[in-house]
Amino acid sequence: MNGKSEITEKYLALFKENIDRISAISSPYINSFREAAYEKFSELGIPTKKNEEYKYTNLNIFFDHDYKNYFIPEEADFVKAEEFRCDVTDLDTHGIVLLNGFYPTINEKLRQLPSGVWIGSLNEAAAKFPALLEKHYGKYAKSETDGLIHLNTAMASDGVFVYVPEGVTLSKPVQVVNLVQSDEDMFNQHRNLIIVEKNAEFSIIICDHTLSPKKFLTNAVTEVFVGENAHFDLIRVQNEHNAACKITHTFIHQEKNSVASSNNMTLHGGLIRNSTYHYLGGEGAESNSYGLFLADKWQHVDNFVNVDHAFPKCTSNQLFKGVLDDMSTGAFNGRILVRPDAQGTLAYQKNNNILLTDDAKMDTKPQLEIYADDVKCSHGATIGQLDGEALFYLQSRGINKREARLMLMFGFAHEVIQNIKIEALRERMDNLVMQRLKGELSRCASCMVKCG
Amino acid sequence: MLIIKNLKASIGGKSILKGITLEVKPGEIHAIMGPNGSGKSTLAAVLAGREFVEVNEGTVLYQGKNLLGMAAEDRAKEGIFLGFQYPIEIPGVSMVNFMKTAVNEHRKHKGLDPLSASDFLKMMREKKEMVEIDSKLANRSVNEGFSGGEKKKNEIFQMAMLEPSLAILDETDSGLDIDALRVVANGVNKLKRSDNSFIVITHYQRLLDYIVPDVVHVLYDGRIVKTAGKELALELEEKGYDWIKREVENNVIA
Amino acid sequence: MEKDQDKILSDVTSGEYKYGFYSDIEMDRIPKGLSEEVVRIISSMKNEPEWLLESRLKAYRHWLTMKMPSWPNLKIPHIDYQEIIFYAAPKKRPLLNSIDDIDPELKRTFDKLGIPLEEQKHLAGVAVDAVIDSVSVKTTFRETLAEMGIIFCSFSDAVKEYPDLVKRYMGSVVPYTDNFFAALNSAVFSDGSFCYIPKGVRCPMELSTYFRINSANTGQFERTLLVADEESYVSYLEGCTAPSRDENQLHAAIVEIIVEKNAEVKYSTVQNWYPGNKEGKGGIFNFVTKRGICKGENSKISWTQIETGSAITWKYPSCILRGDNSIGEFYSVAVTNNHQQADTGTKMIHIGKNTKSTIVSKGISAGKGQNSYRGLVKVLKNAAFARSFSQCDSLLLGDKCGAHTFPYLEVDNQTAIVEHEATTSKIGEDQIFYCNQRGIATEDAIGLIVNGYAREVINKLPMEFAVEAQKLLQISLEGSVG
């Protein structure tokens, strides 16, 4: 690429102007990554549609905008955030609220649960657990193609930290509520680090909400280490308003015989891009990557998945589905890479999409890249409508057409939802999706922002 | 129950049914036999209301009403049940939810209140026992991952749940082992009453060892070319369809 | 058929690249290198009209502004365009297609390749245009076909005899701006085949072009232009071979097909360029742009390709489905063995209503071969009720090779149904064992299994060539089992 785009220059300048302020509130270890990340971002820039990984997503409309840049948290903001209540009633979790990417100042910044699990602020953890940070921070979020990951490393200073020591099973999930609230248009970045040691079990729910009707841009990176024989579950529920852009990059590094799942449930948002990277870094590991989105109006949802089979005898599954209404657009880009010598690999990938209107558009790009021979890999992708045969089958049992369509659409979505292991959340998702499909739920009803 | 007069139908402009006349009275079991491609499944599709089959001529009266003008779901609620030759898999839709919706639509049609959850589950249990299907099937998605035999048994189970007046079983026996065949036949025999009727479409005589028909029709090239009692099925078994074909061709020449 | 099978098996044991010989034919060559001057020389050697020279120069100037595409999943060594000879032709060119004027050595060459240039000796029902290096040396059955109004001749003859047709259609499907190699070809193309099937005519025989690269250090840049007028039908086949050399040679062709209302074109390729030796030395770089347009309603294009040769293959025979109810098909078998690389697939662009496309791709990788399927199915906003189905399977033989699948599905119409499926797996050990147990040696078993795997595609080829293709598959996989 010759010459950097204007937009990239803008964010480079942003770094130069603010790096001192950011560094002042961050721990030295996190700061030690910033210069190199800045250089890498400078080389790669803000991704454009020329980048194969962003072929179907135009980020410019959100990046080419003047935001208030949220670098330093203010006490008063957190007081407002306290009003937020999770509406999944039966969900029993350890709660954490992040406001604009920062851990609340009013709480204890790092706490240990009775089971020995540590949860709290990443910035705080960097001071308290330097050895853990040194071992894991910045070790998994690597990319030679996506500048946004480096932009995050260069400028983010806080986020959630979780440490699950060896052999510990946390029966209750941790729930992180990401709130974005500001009276001005705002850009924020945060960084999460989750360490699940050998033989441990842990699940986390991350809910994304917006609390004020402004234009928001969030660029978040999450690094996850899943130790040998450990189990890890991530469920992301995204429910932001139409003027919000949410970009998430999740890197899940798995050791031998571990099992990890990621589930992206996208209910609402202006522009959503979820990149999930699964690295199967030991024999016998299993990874599952799921995603469901329901898009309408002018929403755009893009799921990018990269599954890297680096060791033999690993298994991976991908199931991503989309329902597109109105003028919405969607993209799926899923890659399975089987490295040489990763023999005995089983890898599956499925992407199905339903277009409900003539103005909706879906682009999908499933990919297999295979360099070992003793493998079983397959993928399938469809873009279409509800199955006419199935529709008739239901009708022939006396179910009217409208109801039959609903059932099929619900069944379509439920195939993804059923992979959520936490029952209260699974039921809540089923309900939300059903209501949404029936049109009983006004499209914005589950959104906190009453923008009318 | 059902009166078909001179029914002609085509698929994509190709004429398949070339004038079918048939009457089924309450309490009767009719078997329709015939070689492949004779139009058996098309007849079932017309009766159930599949849109890709075009009706060109003729009338179908069901309980005195014009059947051809009705939507597929209305026919079902009026009591017509089609047992599919190839039951459809519907991932993500559970059997319970599927059947509950269907049963309650039927009840609504009859002016009844929906069944409570517990009454419904009780009904499921009873019918499962009645048709001897594995209770686990009911917890899965509709037909998903079912074996051929399980799918067919599931059709009979649905028939038991919906209690139709006229059930059309389209080659329900094809691809079944002897045990599954017995389950299917027992289901039919248990559900048979003096006020309901069955049309059993089959290629082989085998099923008719278990389900004894009152009338046997032979369909060939879109027409019913022979109608007789249950002994016709045995004769067909013995002589094969070539015998019918020859007879039809001779008649044409004569 | 059984006898063919036996023959195939016996061929396996002796299977080397059979066409690797070089013929000593007296040639006219121009100096190596590429410049505006070279473009002018090529044009003047062919006594071309001014408009064609202009179009070449335009393409050349555009090419200078372009870069090699970097997106294929290929490792392409640097190509020095100043080291390539862009025009080489046998000295004695026959006049009026009289067989007696052909250099006997040339005749022997084609005999050796199994492509006799005498009509009476030829496979019944196949007309051949034989192209060696830069020129067409002989087109058989020209007169017979002409009686039905079918034009089948070399591209150079077409420029002279049917300038209006050439002018009207050339570049209309693949403009010189399309891509790097299309621009290069448009600047320096030397010859190729031209075919026009008039309204209502079903071409009674297979038309075929046989491409042979002979001279060292030359590139081959041919063009094929095929026009099927309303209600017509033609089945067209091309074959290719080259001598074994340690240097890579470049082949950059363009094929354009125009199909009018109710017409159908079946285009088959058996590509067997020299693939390089076991160490990956030498071999042809095969960078080809093939595209057809279904212009009228109910028109149909069916591409079938058996790709066994070339060191590197880069080609995507495509269909633009503009006419309502038009149909595009793509059936492909691509084999990569030793160090071969292939990045091939198709593009199906649905524009008209009720358009249909079918893609069946079978990749076979062995040795250190890398095989990629890359395909695009695009349904435009107005392409109501478009249907597309792709099935892309990859078979891996050995643990050093690779198989990759890159489909792109872009759908902008609610009534469309687009489906893609792909599988990748190793050749079944239980299948091989089953054959072994019946007394079939492993190598033969693999041949049988691979042929079975590719059958769906091979069956789409005209009969005479299906047998040839089966043999080729077997030979290309020679030594792939360790």
pLDDT digits 0-9 by tens, A223-278: 999 999 999 999 999 988 889 999 999 999 999 999 999 999 998 889 999 999 99
Q: What one-letter code names the amino acid at C206?
A: E
Residue B253 lies in a domain: no
Residue B163 lies in a domain: yes
Element (H, E) at B225: strand B223-228
Cα C290 → chain centroid? 8
Q: What one-letter code names the amino acid at A103?
A: Y
Q: What is the SS3 assignment for A106?
A: coil
Residue B252 lies in a domain: no
Measure in Å the smallest separation between the Cα of A216 and chain C Cα atoms.
28
Residue B77 lies in a domain: yes
What is the reported pLDDT for A442?
47
Mean pLDDT for the stretch of residues A28-35: 94
Q: Which of A394, A396, A411 sits opposite B91 (nearest CB)?
A: A411
Q: Which of C397, C418, C425 sits opposite A382 (nearest CB)?
A: C418
How far CA B235 is from CA of A86, B29, B35, B178, in Å, comes to 72, 18, 14, 22
- Number of domains observed in the structure of chain B: 1
Element (H, E) at B142: strand B141-142
Contact call for B76 and A414, based on CB within 8 A: no
The answer to whether residues C225 and C91 touch, using CB atoms and an 8 Å cutoff, is no
pTM recorded for the entire structure: 0.83
pLDDT higher than 80, residue A300: yes
CA pair distance C358, C335, nearest whole angstrom? 21
pLDDT of A105-125, one tens digit each? 666 789 999 999 999 999 999
The answer, for C382 touching chain A at a CB cutoff of 8 Å, is no
Residue B90 lies in a domain: yes
Q: How many CB pairs under 8 A join A and C?
A: 112
Mean pLDDT for the stretch of residues A421-442: 82
CA pair distance A133, C380, nearest whole angstrom? 50
A-chain CB neighbours of C394 within 8 Å are 368, 370
Give the chain B residue nearest A417 (alpha carbons): B92
The answer, for A51 touching chain C at a CB cutoff of 8 Å, is no
For the ranges A83-87, A335-339, B182-186, the lowest mean pLDDT is seen at: A83-87
pLDDT higher than 90, residue A89: no
Contact call for C414 and A377, based on CB within 8 A: no
Q: Which of B73, B92, B162 sits opposite A400 (nearest CB)?
A: B73
CA pair distance C180, C59, nearest whole angstrom? 10
Q: What percent of chain A has pLDDT over 90?
A: 71
Q: How many CA atoms lie within 13 A of A202 on its CB side?
A: 30
For chain A, positions 256-285, list CB contacts with chain C under 8 A: none
B-chain CB neighbours of A400 within 8 Å are 73, 105
CA pair distance C129, C141, nearest whole angstrom? 9
pLDDT of A44-79, one tens digit each? 999 999 899 999 999 999 999 999 888 877 776 776
Q: What is the SS3 assignment for C24?
A: coil
What is the reported pLDDT for C117?
67
Size of chain B, expressed as the number of residues it contains? 254
- Which of the 8 DSSP states describes residue C140? T
Residue B145 lies in a domain: yes
Q: Which of B48, B88, B92 sits opposite A414 (nearest CB)?
A: B92
Residue B214 lies in a domain: yes
A-chain CB neighbours of B84 within 8 Å are 393, 396
Q: Give partners of A (≥3 CB pairs < 8 A).
A: B, C
CA pair distance B152, B87, nearest whole angstrom? 7
Mean pLDDT for the stretch of residues C374-379: 95
For residue C208, the cross-strand partners are C128, C237
Contact call for A408 and B93, based on CB within 8 A: yes
Name which residue leads in pLDDT, A160 or A88. Answer: A160
Mutate to test the interface with B, among A393, A412, A431 (most CBs of B within 10 A): A393
- Which of the 8 DSSP states describes residue B89? P
Which residue pairs from B10-14 have beta carbons closer than 8 angstroms and sit at least 24 positions apart in sequence?
B10/B53, B10/B54, B10/B56, B11/B42, B11/B52, B11/B53, B11/B54, B12/B52
Contact call for C426 and A382, based on CB within 8 A: no
CA pair distance C230, C139, nearest whole angstrom? 25
Domain residue limits at B186:
2-240
- For the complex shown, is ipTM > 0.95? no
Both tokens assigned to B191:
């559900």
Measure in Å the smallest separation between the Cα of B84 and chain A Cα atoms.
9
For the ranges A170-179, B76-85, B220-229, C438-447, the lowest mean pLDDT is seen at: C438-447
Q: Which of C399, C407, C421 sits opposite A372 (nearest CB)?
A: C399
With 0-12 CB in 10 A as exposed, 13-18 as middle and 19+ as buried, what is A106? exposed
For the ranges A382-396, B233-247, C341-355, the lowest mean pLDDT is seen at: B233-247
What is the reported pLDDT for B254?
46
Mean pLDDT for the stretch of residues B73-86: 90
Mean pLDDT for the stretch of residues B211-216: 92
Contact call for B87 and A404, based on CB within 8 A: no
Residue B246 lies in a domain: no
The answer, for A358 touching chain C at a CB cutoff of 8 Å, is yes
Confidence of residue B239 (pLDDT cuts 50, 70, 90): confident
Mean pLDDT for the stretch of residues C181-206: 91
What is the reported pLDDT for C20?
74
pLDDT of A158-200, one tens digit each? 999 999 999 999 989 999 989 888 888 999 999 999 999 999 9
Four-residue CA torsion sign, B144, B149, B152, B156: negative
- Return the CATH number at B119: 3.40.50.300
Confidence of residue C426 (pLDDT cuts 50, 70, 90): confident
pLDDT higher than 50, residue A443: no
C-chain CB neighbours of A342 within 8 Å are none
Count the helix, strand and coil residues of chain A and give each as a percent rounded to the nearest 5.
Answer: 25, 40, 35
pLDDT higher than 90, residue A289: yes
Q: What one-letter code names the amino acid at A363?
A: D
